[in-house]
Amino acid sequence: MSDSECEFHLEIDHRLTMMKDDELVYAKDGRLYKYGMSNSTLVESVPVDDVISGDGWRKPCLIGAVNGKMPGPNIIVYEGQTVVVHVKNSLINEILTMHWHGLSMRGTPWMDGAPFITQCPILPGQTFIYSFHAYPKGTFWYHSHIGTQQSMGIYGAFIIRERDDNIKEEHIISIMEYNHEWDTEMSYLKDIYGLYQRGYRVPNSKSLDDAEFDAFQFDSGLINGRGRFHDSGTKKHNDAPLEVFEVSFGKPYKFRVIGAGRLYPFRVSIDNHILEIIASDGYNLEPIEVESFVINPGERFDFILIANQSVSNYWIRAETLEVNKGHRTEAILRYRGAPDKEPVTSRKQCLSTDRCIVLNCPFLYFPDSEATQCLTFNDVKAVTGCQPVPKYHADKFEEYFLNFGVPGENPAFVNGRVFQTPTHCEMSQPLNVLSSCDKSECGKNKVCRCPHSIRIRHGTVVQLVLLNMGIGKGQSHPIHLHGYSFYVLKMGYGNYNKTTGKIISDNFEIDCRDTLDRDKSLCNQATWSNSSWINGNVPHLELKRAPRKDTIIVPTGGYVIIRFQADNPGVWYLHCHLENHNMEGMRMLIIESPEKIPPPPSAFSGYYGFTYMGILASENKFHETDSGK
């Protein structure tokens, strides 16, 4: 805790599941055994921590690993420390970068890990040394920012603790979906060209509000890299080991939950226990007691659990919001002193007289029959005494409308612009990007490809209206901003049938400014329907205790207003954290004050072949280490 610097080494390579060294293992009764050991009652099991089990599928599957694990090791530091991470790329033929999701990288923008934006990727066999300051406190994570490597398993928790945190015991949960028959590149291609089974194209699954999810063969869900394959025919599972979280009766525990998936929102609950939500994306919230909460890819939620139930075992559940799919994963909450057995508990029965409360819904209503009440992120507030929201100033205020869409056969875009990745480190040449979308193919109701960006002035208050409307709506998008945690001022939802919970139409507070019918418009040049709302005059903004996040769900047919002060010079990604959408082009750049960006280390002058130590804690200078050339 007292050290000023913490140093870590991460080696990235490919591994196979269900292997103990070079020996194949199998699952039985929640344990793992080497093949050839037929009588498992007489044979010592293989330690679960020695095997990447995934969902226990009988054939080894290719995954990405960090220090031989999936997910990678937890990185835990204290607020204010300097963090140095040596990342070695031991992949055979793939490049790599590592993004530190949720950290602002203030003063060290070259350490953000955005490929071709803040750095050239790390080649196989090379090491890049990231160095940055641990700020602010909270639950964050690290993951590869190249292609589909994150959902292949190249990720881990990054926790910045407060030095005076009075909750001493905590658990970390990461949740993702998993496909054991393909790697995630195959999943991406099947999403682009079609998912077929037995010669027939599989339709997209539906959310409770009638929104869609991309086609994905969900074999299993994983909690901390462990889950079980459930046979869709027999409904039986394969007895693979699950993650177990131990608690002692009467004690409070902090749980940090990370949405590490590629596509689905998961609804998280623990049988017989109330969850007290206290933070999201690193920032404290006014505590809210709920039966469950929804977490989207890229988001994090912290909650307090009081271990006040009978000494026993309880299911931890994470279920997708799909209709009639039953896609889920489980882990075990085990009280110390309870037998080493699986839980027999049931999920709370939601009744009209005792409704279940769910936080962070991407829609307004569950169907009446489910006796469940939605709380959206619009319903939460920051703790008292939080930092005030930046105020509107006539000469220092910028507002941008950004529509995120996937229109039919067209790829995913922002304002009709499909992001085209540059082939050089963009932060060293930010002015070259600004005019790159000035072409006739771009504009109202057009789709074009370019390195889409907007430039913001240092010191201004920036308000972004993130919308999800027009012909490209239909899926809700978790939007992540690098370099900033923003204030969430308001969420506007579409119009819903309150009985069925299904969406009927877009929110009409947004004007797509198009002569076409709204459902045929790309909504590339939106504004407020009521012109008096410009310049920060939108009614019902939360300006006193607005919560802060770095990843927010933008509901289909709706919008979200976020605001931040432009005080972090750099070139920052803004993108959808659904992996396929990000890869297709639903991303753009926020370029702030190029003239104020700290100069790159001299090693960056070469395209590749550098290692870099970062910024000295004592002075704002870059310094180099041996490049290993």
Digit-coded pLDDT (tens) for 59-104: 999 999 999 999 999 999 999 999 999 999 999 999 999 999 999 9
Among the listed residues 522, 509, 515, the one whose alpha carbon sits nearest the alpha carbon of residue 470: 522
Residue 464: which H helix or E strand, with range? Answer: strand 461-467
Amino acid code (one letter) for 60: P
Q: Average pLDDT in the 281-310 region?
A: 98
Among the listed residues 13, 8, 299, the one whose alpha carbon sits nearest the alpha carbon of residue 132: 8
pLDDT per residue over 17-36, tens digit each?
Answer: 999 999 999 999 999 999 87
**Is the pLDDT reported for residue 614 higher than 50?**
no
pLDDT per residue over 303-340, tens digit each?
Answer: 999 999 999 999 999 999 999 888 999 999 999 999 99
Cα torsion through 259, 262, 264, 268, rounded to 10: -20
List CB contacts of 38: < 8 A, sequence separation 6 or more.
none
Q: pLDDT-derived band of residue 611, with 50, 70 and 90 as boundaries?
A: very low
Domain spans of the chain, in order of start = 5-17+52-163, 173-181+217-360, 397-592
Which tokens go with 317?
């559940």
Question: How far apart, in whole angstroms, are the C-alpha atoms of residue 208 and residue 127?
Answer: 45
Using DSSP's 3-state secondary structure scheme, residue 519 falls into helix
pLDDT per residue over 142-171, tens digit each?
Answer: 999 999 999 999 999 999 998 876 767 999
pLDDT per residue over 360-413, tens digit each?
Answer: 999 999 999 999 999 999 999 999 888 899 999 989 999 999 999 998 878 999
Report which of residues 279 and 204 the model is more confident about.
279
Question: How far apart, in whole angstroms, are the C-alpha atoms of residue 222 and residue 49?
Answer: 15
Question: How far apart, in whole angstroms, are the C-alpha atoms of residue 288 and residue 278?
Answer: 7
The C-alpha angle with vertex 189 and arms to 183 and 190, in degrees rounded to 5, equals: 90
**Is the pLDDT reported for residue 537 higher than 70?**
yes
pLDDT number for residue 414? 97
Q: Is 16 within 8 Å of 87 (Cβ atoms)?
A: no
Report which of residues 246 and 409 the model is more confident about.
246
Question: In whole angstroms, what separates CA 370 from the centre of its chain?
Answer: 27
Q: pLDDT-derived band of residue 618, with 50, 70 and 90 as boundaries?
A: very low
Question: How far apart, in whole angstroms, are the C-alpha atoms of residue 216 and residue 218?
Answer: 6
Q: Is 95 within 8 Å of 121 (Cβ atoms)?
A: yes
The C-alpha angle with vertex 17 and arms to 15 and 18, in degrees rounded to 5, equals: 135
**Locate tokens 């709920």: which residue?**
290
Question: Strands, E, within 17-92: which ranges?
Answer: 19-20, 23-28, 31-34, 62-66, 75-78, 82-89
pLDDT number for residue 514? 82
Report which of residues 379 and 233 the model is more confident about.
379
Beta bridge partners of 334: 246, 313
**Is the pLDDT reported for residue 357 higher than 70?**
yes
Q: Average pLDDT in the 123-151 region?
A: 95
* Percent share of the chain, pLDDT over 90: 76
Architecture of domain 5-17+52-163: Sandwich (2.60)
As assigned by CATH, the class of the 173-181+217-360 domain is: mainly beta
As assigned by CATH, the class of the 397-592 domain is: mainly beta
Q: pLDDT-derived band of residue 41, with 50, 70 and 90 as boundaries?
A: low
Q: Is 531 within 8 Å of 399 (Cβ atoms)?
A: no
Question: How far apart, in whole angstroms, are the C-alpha atoms of residue 386 and residue 384?
Answer: 6
Q: pLDDT-derived band of residue 627, with 50, 70 and 90 as boundaries?
A: very low
pLDDT per residue over 410-437, tens digit each?
Answer: 899 999 999 998 766 777 766 555 556 7
pLDDT number for residue 358? 98
Residue 172 phi, psi dihedral angles, 5° rounding: -115, 130
CB count in 10 Å sphere of residue 162? 12
Q: Average pLDDT in the 438-449 region?
A: 83
Question: Mean pLDDT for the chain?
Answer: 90
Q: Average pLDDT in the 538-564 region?
A: 97
pLDDT number for residue 396? 94
Question: How far apart, in whole angstroms, are the C-alpha atoms of residue 81 and residue 74?
Answer: 16
Are 173-181+217-360 and 397-592 equal in CATH topology? Answer: yes
153 Ramachandran zone, left/alpha/beta (phi>0; psi -120 to 50): left
DSSP states along 419-434: E---SS-GGGSGGGTT
CB count in 10 Å sphere of residue 375? 17
